[in-house]
Amino acid sequence: MVSVGAIFRPQLPPERLGDVALAADDAGLDELWLWEDCFLESGVATASAALARTSRLRVGVGVLPVPLRNVALTAMEAATLHRLFPGRVILGAGHGVQDWMAQVGARAESPLTLMREYLGALRALLRGEEVTSRGRYVTLDRVALGWPPLTAAPVLAGASGPKSLRLAGECADGTILTAGTTPDGVRRARLLIDEGRSAAGRTDPHDLVVNLHTATGPDAATRLRAELHHWYGKDDPELGVAGDGATVAEAVRRLADAGAGTVVLQPTPDEPDPEGFVRFAAEEVAPRLR
């Protein structure tokens, strides 16, 4: 069965997060996802706050931009969250928006090389291993976590291009696809991910998380149209969905049939009722998919 989540966008002030997370938890939403977008809100700080305010909700960060973050620090933060909130943490790592990385002097000449080194080191550290690395970007000298996670701590990768998708299949435990990915795009991504998994000899589970542009309410179509034109310069019905619970659930089902294991509803930045949006996802969309 497909899991349904919703995004708390960092265009909202951080002080709104507590109420949105509580609304999601109370409504029975599977997952609440957060972004570490420059230069808005920290993914780890917001995840910790959302987890602390709730009792059962899974909280994902999609994604942590690896050029900004020393891998040992990310491992320490991830391990702390997993020990404090076992079974409720989902962390994704990604290349970061290259223009933003350049703004802070962190743009990598080879993002793929950085991601490969980073994912390998991060997953090993979270398994409790001592890691020594002399890579192009990741340098570690006998580093081991003092408090590694007690349970499995999967690391997902944000990916879009063919090389990144193959790398995600090879080196990550799951993949996050951006909103605007069509069902056919999900199928193509799954094939590329599976190529990477096959090359690495991996047979373990690999969740595919897909974000979905979503709007509901009286002005849903107008807001979604503006969002799609902002990102893609066109209003293509396959790039998002506007409507009631049945309409949105059908769009989620199409992505799930294409291979998505989790579909995360991404509201427009001008969503007028963030608490209502997460309740809509939990109460109007998810039950239609069970």
**Domain holding 280: CATH number?**
3.20.20.30
Domain containing residue 59: 3-289
pLDDT digits (tens, 9 = 90+) for 53-112: 999 999 999 999 999 999 999 999 999 999 999 999 999 999 999 999 999 999 999 999
- The total of structural domains in the chain comes to 1
Query: Could you tell me which residues come within 8 angstroms of residue 19 by beta carbon, excluding any fewer than 6 positions away?
Result: 275
Q: Please tell me the predicted confidence (pLDDT) of residue 186.
A: 98
Query: Could you tell me which residues come within 8 angstroms of residue 13 by beta carbon, excluding any fewer than 6 positions away?
Result: none
Query: Could you tell me which residues come within 8 angstroms of residue 199 by beta carbon, excluding any fewer than 6 positions away?
Result: 166, 169, 170
Q: Please tell me the predicted confidence (pLDDT) of residue 68.
A: 96
Is residue 36 within 8 Å of 64, Cβ to Cβ? Answer: yes
* Confidence class for position 52, pLDDT limits 50, 70, 90: very high
Q: Please tell me the predicted confidence (pLDDT) of residue 285.
A: 98
Of all residues in the chain, the percent with pLDDT exceeding 70 is 100
pTM: 0.97
